[in-house]
Structure 1
Amino acid sequence: MSRPRSITPFLFAVAACLVPITGSAKESQAGSTVSAPGTTDQWRGHTRHRFEVSGHQAWVVEPSNPLPGKPWTWCTEFPDAFTDRTGVPQLLEKGIHHAHISDFNRLGCEEQLRLMDEFHKVMVSKGFAAKVGLIGISRGGFMAYRWAQRNPDKVVFIYGDAPVCDLKSWPGGFGKGKGSPKDWQHAKNLYGWKSDEEARAFRGNALDEEPLSRLAAAKIPLLHVVGDADDVVPVAENTAILAERYRKLGGDIAVLHHAAGHHPHGLDDPAPVVRFMLGHLAPANPVR
């Protein structure tokens, strides 16, 4: 049976009919090339299709030989950061689509979660798998967890790379990490917190037990890659707490450590990450 090779009509339909075309959306990540919605360009040797959802630029990269059912990964933030180290190019070669919608530094606030819902709805309405593999890099990990904890039935796995799991750690800086006063004030504005005390009482962090229990109940596997010298998103204040709690809840999480700070993300050899992601997205197509 032949495999579908093109999703171009789908993306032009999205751009032309389903969402407003404002021309105002911009990529916030270094290294991105901004193209008009409804156009195509190249990304890591593959065709990338651009469109808009609710005025935000989105894109999906099409593998040369897409797998049936259109399994896909979604990088929530920094989609052009350390890509070769995160395993995404290998997944594309195995037939997995890769997508992103730009809404930089919104830290999983309610408005961003609604946009993420809309993006997922558009993708699924055009034939992509109902469950997606989430890739969360740094603060993008917080976004991934916030959305997954609201939508556990829509998630295959979460791969967090030096992920922010607690806003008190970053950007709050209330532990041993550097924090970011500007981003902490930004977070308080996004969430409507009037004081540090109100912000610190928030119980919707990625590592908080009640939202984390939703992922465990849904049996969503987790993988974190962390740098043991990370002084921006310290492991002890983020991944270590989340992992301990998730295991106590009966959840499955693996943590891969490497000798790094917050950067570089990913691994010198991302094979373990690729095996994890592909094993859940396309178990019939393992990586050895």
Structure 2
Amino acid sequence: MRSILYFFPCLVIFLTGLSPVDGKPWPGRGSDFHGYAQYDFEYDGLKGRVVVPKNEARDRPWVWRARFFGHRPEVDVALLKKGFHVAYVDASNLFGSPAAVDRWNRFYSYLTKTHGFHPKPALEGMSRGGLIVYNWASENPGKLSCIYADAPVCDITSWPGGFGQGRGSPGDWAKCKKVYGLTDHEAKPFTDNPIDKLKPLADAGIPLLHVVGDADQVVPVAENTALLEARYKALGGNITVIHKPGVGHRHGLDDPEPIISFILKHTASALQKSPSRCLRKGRIPDRRKQQ
């Protein structure tokens, strides 16, 4: 009888595509995000945000948005329709520094352990959000399914430093140097950027998708995505770059289907390779280990 009681919730999940809530309601203030319930809350000193799908997909897949939450929401809304959660934690003005990575580590632990989110989210980084997406991923290559980056900053000396072709941002550069503990002299040869830390991701087989405007003068493609692309391919990594000829520092695609399909494809692959939540909780024996 006990085995039936353990099995039944998982059978319901399998048949309906729904995951249990684990008895943990979302805290904080509720609001609306394009017709979906959004919750803003504080946890362990973090300012978190989660948008909940109306029909939750099996195993609670999620997309983790970095910076500029709500900007160009087409991909997030499409994934909500597919049963994904959308998550965000505030790491403003930390530029992907170790302090930002620490915030992401703590928020990841909260979402996966307290709310049962799948251990391999898709990461979504726009502009400076590329710094935290890649810096966190390089330290946690086994904890994500894929990366979608849009006009991403991949080197702080390009932006906000402005040491190359780009405009830079003196105000942001002052903040960036402070959180990294760098002087101008120390920052120029800095080698702890996303472009310098790709091997763990290539070794883990993490697929990457970048969307860039070829006329971007804020985050020049040559100093960021093009350099990252060349290095990742040299390491044997899988990266696709969608170019927008004549477009500057603007995000998204008129038809976001390639981005949505990329995330769905690689999330499905991660779900297939990982035991279901029922297996991870020990509710059903993992038959694959017995074969």
TM-score range, shorter chain: 0.7 to 0.9
Correspondence 1:77-156 to 2 at 5 A: 77-84=67-74, 87-125=75-113, 126-156=115-145
Q: Pick one of 178, 184, 191 that aligns with 2:173.
A: 184
- CA apart distance, 1:284: 11
- CA apart distance, 1:3: 3.7
- CA apart distance, 1:102: 1.4
- CA apart distance, 1:50: 2.5
1:282 and 2:271 correspond: no
Alignment CA distance shift 1:92-1:279 (3 Å): same
* Segment drifting more, 174-183 vs 45-54: 45-54
- CA apart distance, 1:257: 0.7
Letter aligned with residue 53 of structure 1 = Y
Q: Pick one of 258, 262, 266 that aligns with 1:272.
A: 258
Q: Which secondary structure does the structure 2 equivalent of 1:10 belong to?
A: coil
Q: Pick one of 249, 253, 266 that aligns with 2:235.
A: 249
Contact kept? 1:11, 1:50, Cα under 8 Å: no
TM-score normalised by the chain length of structure 1 = 0.84
Alignment CA distance shift 1:8-1:60 (3 Å): farther
Question: Hey, which bits of structure 1, 4+ residues long, moved more than 4 A?
Answer: 5-9
Alignment CA distance shift 1:258-1:196 (3 Å): same
Q: Which secondary structure does the structure 1 equivalent of 2:51 belong to?
A: strand
Contact kept? 1:142, 1:165, Cα under 8 Å: yes
Structure 2 distance, partners of 1:62, 1:141, is 24
1:261 and 2:248 correspond: yes
Contact kept? 2:19, 2:57, Cα under 8 Å: no
Match of 1:40 in 2: 30
Q: Which secondary structure does the structure 2 equivalent of 1:61 belong to?
A: strand
Q: Which secondary structure does the structure 1 equivalent of 2:16 belong to?
A: coil
- CA apart distance, 1:8: 9.5
TM-score normalised by the chain length of structure 2 = 0.84
Is there any run of 5+ residues in structure 1 with no aligned partner, and where?
16-37
Q: Which secondary structure does the structure 2 equivalent of 1:268 belong to?
A: coil
Is there any run of 5+ residues in structure 2 with no aligned partner, and where?
1-14, 272-291
**Cα offsets for 1:147-167 (capped at 9, x unmatched):** 001111111111100000001
Alignment CA distance shift 1:284-1:204 (3 Å): closer
Match of 2:16 in 1: 2
- CA apart distance, 1:60: 1.1
Structure 2 distance, partners of 1:147, 1:246, is 17
Q: Which secondary structure does the structure 1 equivalent of 2:194 belong to?
A: coil
1:228 and 2:214 correspond: yes
Structure 1 distance, partners of 2:19, 2:81, is 13
- CA apart distance, 1:93: 0.7
- CA apart distance, 1:77: 0.6
Q: Which secondary structure does the structure 1 equivalent of 2:191 belong to?
A: coil
Structure 2 distance, partners of 1:55, 1:74, is 19
Alignment CA distance shift 1:230-1:8 (3 Å): farther
Q: Pick one of 148, 161, 165 that aligns with 1:172.
A: 161
- CA apart distance, 1:282: 2.7
- CA apart distance, 1:177: 0.4
Structure 2 distance, partners of 1:156, 1:132, is 6
**Cα offsets for 1:248-279 (capped at 9, x unmatched):** 0000000001131112x110000000000011
Correspondence 1:20-99 to 2 at 5 A: 38-84=28-74, 87-99=75-87
Contact kept? 2:19, 2:59, Cα under 8 Å: no
Contact kept? 1:105, 1:139, Cα under 8 Å: no
Structure 1 distance, partners of 2:223, 2:99, is 26
Contact kept? 1:11, 1:49, Cα under 8 Å: no
Q: Which secondary structure does the structure 2 equivalent of 1:275 belong to?
A: helix
The alignment yields a C-alpha RMSD, in angstroms, of 1.8
Rg larger in structure: 2
Number of equivalent positions = 255
Contact kept? 1:78, 1:137, Cα under 8 Å: yes
